[in-house]
Structure 1
Amino acid sequence: MALLLSLLTALVLLSSGPARTLGCDPLEDHVLLSRENVELLRDMNSISPLFCLKDRQHFRFPRAVVDGSQVQKAQALSVLHQMLQQISDLLATENSSVPWNTTLVDLLRTGLHRQLEDLDTCWAREMGEEGPALATQGPTLALKRYFQGIRLYLKEKQYSDCAWEVVRVEILRSFSSTIAALQERLRNEDGDVGSP
């Protein structure tokens, strides 16, 4: 009976799999999952960007918040968390999936949700009491303002298909930029490991 219980326990653990939970250190796991989410955003393209040229908007992504050479690990986690949360909230907006394949939107929402859950665990472990304070500092506030501008734009455009396409392209660009900056930070961190 004990052998059967052990086998069932092992089966449950294997079925949940290590891929379901990301580690907190290094940040590489989160960067890889973010790249998967970026690919889903890229695949969601449903309208020719040329068709929506009249709706283009410059949202002024705050690049300073993702400068890979200056961002500390705590800030990097905070920025990534804020970016994922804001994208997730935006996709939860009424009529957000009108122009897109709902299967891809659902996959993206699931990926974002999974990564946010894992980051919340990391947040608690890595930041402790410092975490809530980071959420109110410059980088995360700048991201909140940036996404507020996106929400206002969508409202002004009455959540049209072209407005959503412009937002998809903008989020793809800013999210890719964030991931690239975090990868740069990781490369710099790896290079510093051998330094005296």
Structure 2
Amino acid sequence: MAFLVSSLTALVMIFSSPISSMICDLPQSLDLGKQETFTALKQMQRISSFLCQKDRKNFRFPRKMVDGSQVQKAQVISVLHEMFQQTFNIFGTEQSSAAWNMTLLHGLLSGLYRQLEDLGTCLVPEMKEVESALRMEDSTLAVRRYFQGIHLYLKEKQYSDCAWEVVRVEIRRYLFIVNKFARKEI
């Protein structure tokens, strides 16, 4: 517990620099990024999702993060940041480079990177109390578990074209859900 508190304190100190005091216009950032990310993910489709029905899987998206009425702005920002980071990690792999058109993949990764930067400027100013930070840790842990399932699925399916298509559709779907929720809550 002491490590967690000291880590949070260090993060607050690091991000209390002038860059984090910039005005956070999150809804505009989300809308712009959502369009760019959605467009890239749509354009990346190489095979019909219908052909991959046998490969479909329920990754158990942690809906409680976006269905709760007690979710705070800091938690929403934290969850979005973690989701974009994990999406960036999946599509930034060597296996992903072999599966997708490099121009489209680069566009997706660039858009995700910009979204991560935007969310990063908003994240820490919202972390004002330890209780809020602990709730954010629970939320980000749920997101990490969700993406761990996606990583394991890709590995199990040996990064097949259908596995990538299932993941592309899944990520596009959750981005829609989370962005819709975030725009409503923030």
Give the TM-score, by structure 1 length. Answer: 0.75
Aligned length: 164
Contact 2:73 2:126 in 1 (8 A): no
Aligned amino acid, residue 26 of structure 2: L
1:89 aligns with 89
Contact 1:99 1:161 in 2 (8 A): yes
Displacement of 1:135 after TM fit? 8.0
1:142 aligns with 142
1:117 aligns with 117
The runs of 5 or more residues in structure 2 that have no matched partner are: 1-21
Find out whether 1:174 has 2:174 as its counterpart. yes
In 1, distance between residues paired with 2:104 and 2:142?
28
1:27 aligns with 26
Change in Cα spacing, 1:184 to 1:125, as seen in structure 2 (3 Å) is closer
Q: Which has the higher helix share?
A: 2
Displaced runs of 4 or more, over 6 A: none
Aligned amino acid, residue 106 of structure 2: D
Aligned amino acid, residue 181 of structure 1: F
RMSD of aligned C-alpha atoms? 2.3
Displacement of 1:81 after TM fit? 0.4
Find out whether 1:164 has 2:158 as its counterpart. no
Change in Cα spacing, 1:152 to 1:121, as seen in structure 2 (3 Å) is same
In 2, distance between residues paired with 1:65 and 1:24?
25
The runs of 5 or more residues in structure 1 that have no matched partner are: 1-22, 187-196
In 2, distance between residues paired with 1:147 and 1:131?
25
In 1, distance between residues paired with 2:135 and 2:115?
17
Change in Cα spacing, 1:60 to 1:125, as seen in structure 2 (3 Å) is same
Change in Cα spacing, 1:135 to 1:92, as seen in structure 2 (3 Å) is farther
2:19 aligns with none
In 2, distance between residues paired with 1:67 and 1:108?
27
Give the TM-score, by structure 2 length. Answer: 0.79
- Report the secondary structure of 2:139's partner residue: helix
In 2, distance between residues paired with 1:132 and 1:68?
15
Displacement of 1:165 after TM fit? 0.6
Aligned amino acid, residue 28 of structure 1: P
Contact 1:69 1:185 in 2 (8 A): no
Aligned amino acid, residue 117 of structure 2: E
Contact 1:44 1:101 in 2 (8 A): yes
Contact 1:37 1:111 in 2 (8 A): yes
